Amino acid sequence: MAAQYEIRVAGVLDSRWASWFDGLQISVQGDETVIRGLLADQAALHGLLIKVRDLGLCLISVRRLETGQAGNEAGQDGEQTWRKT
């Protein structure tokens, strides 16, 4: 089932990486990069995480966003978050 995801990694990637990440939205917030977009299923999510690993990026968090929350900030009800501590 398709869902919106937000992946945060340490470091700064510019928008040129969007094609490598299959056209997902790439943005920078401070010293973190946010990769956000619609993924078809869990296999697509795992494929994205493999790309993050292959680039040697430090994974900070993975969030599944509920419908209509793709543009909202963290901490909203109805979202599922994994965050490295």
What are the strands, taking DSSP E only, across 11-55?
25-29, 32-39
In this structure, is residue 34 part of a structural domain? yes
**pTM passes above 0.95:** no
Q: What is residue 59's predicted lDDT score, i.e. its pLDDT?
A: 97
pLDDT of 79 > 50? The answer is no
Task: Report the distance separating Cα 56 and Cα 64, nearest Å.
Answer: 22
Domain harbouring 9, CATH code? 3.30.70.270
The whole domain housing 46 covers: 3-67
pLDDT in tens, 11-47: 999 778 888 888 899 999 999 999 999 999 999 999 9
Q: Total structural domains in the chain?
A: 1
In this structure, is residue 82 part of a structural domain? no
Contacts with 73 (C-beta within 8 Å, 6 or more apart), sequence order: none
